[in-house]
Structure 1
């Protein structure tokens, strides 16, 4: 996979496109109105409302550019059963103490670690990709620790 390529599921791509549309239409219109209103107050050099609205406009334009760039570099994948762990896989792991933990491997845009949705690009995601049920995997954590898991089950949602 090329370094600048972004893996997205069909669902994630759709959410990004919806967010881009909202930013381009609703948010741009809201900020344009705030700028128009602030201009009506007169002197722009000391007009806090105008300066704040222009900063907000710059931030919005940055967000729009970021999403556009992500969509341009997107490689859209279908979630399907492949026989190994890939984006979209639901993985059941068992640690050395026998504790079970489930993760869903997702694209970076859908990652939500608190809800056990981890990016394929995270340390554990990288360690699990292309592995199969029954295999043992070592995960090197950002703090330098290494954790060993047994892959108990792989399913696809």
Structure 2
């Protein structure tokens, strides 16, 4: 089975969620089911059915996270000697060649992507265009509005 790249921070976030699901959410749901059972007839017991539904979601998410972590190749970019090449996990400052607008992105795994925080998926068009290139290189990125040229201004392994 293929391994999927994930940053150390991304893996930690998933582990925290998994820990919460197992140690906080799961026991709370089990308690809610037990309390709802005490109310009698389960056929028309809304609390019981809601708690069972929550339990299904919780168990499904636990399995999903465990699967993601077992298939993750966790990459700690801070252990890699600084370089000029754009790699998974690196933070890249690029400049729009036409507008001189600067933007900084961190290239992360699919599950970690958060455009609002400038974290882009390794499989996004812009990340695919940047990976393997170096400071000073120009890359063309196909966007919905057409092709945009960027120059790689800086690369950090943080």
Matched, 1:71 2:72: no
Asked if 1 retains the 8 angstrom alpha-carbon contact of 2:87 and 2:131, the reply is yes
TM normalised by structure 1 equals: 0.89
Deviation at residue 15 of structure 1 after TM alignment: 2.3
Q: Choose which of 97, 108, 117 in structure 2 pairs with 1:115.
A: 117
2:107 maps to which of 102, 105, 129: 105
| 1:31-52 deviation digits (Å, cap 9, x = unpaired) | 0011111111111111111111
- Aligned-pair CA distance for 1:137: 1.0
Question: Partner of 1:131: helix, strand, or coil?
Answer: coil
Partner of 1:53: 51
Q: Helix, strand or coil for the counterpart of 1:30?
A: helix
- With the length of structure 2 as denominator, give the TM-score of the two structures: 0.89
Q: Provide, for residues 67-97 of structure 1, a one-character-per-residue CA deviation record: whole Å limited to 9, x for no partner.
A: 0110111111121334311122121111111
The aligned runs of 1:1-157 (5 Å cut-off) are: 4-79=2-77, 80=80, 81-95=82-96, 96-141=98-143, 143=144, 145-157=146-158
RMSD: 1.6
| Structure 1: 4+ residue segments shifted above 3 A | none
Unaligned 5+ segments in structure 1 are none
**3-state SS of 2:5 partner:** strand
Q: Measure how far apart 1:107 and its partner are.
A: 2.2
How much does 1:30 deviate? 0.5
Q: 2:8 & 2:65 partners in 1: Cα distance?
A: 15
Per-residue deviation, 1:144: 6.5
Q: Deviations over 1:9-37 (max 9, x none)?
A: 22322222222121111110010011111
Matched residue count: 154
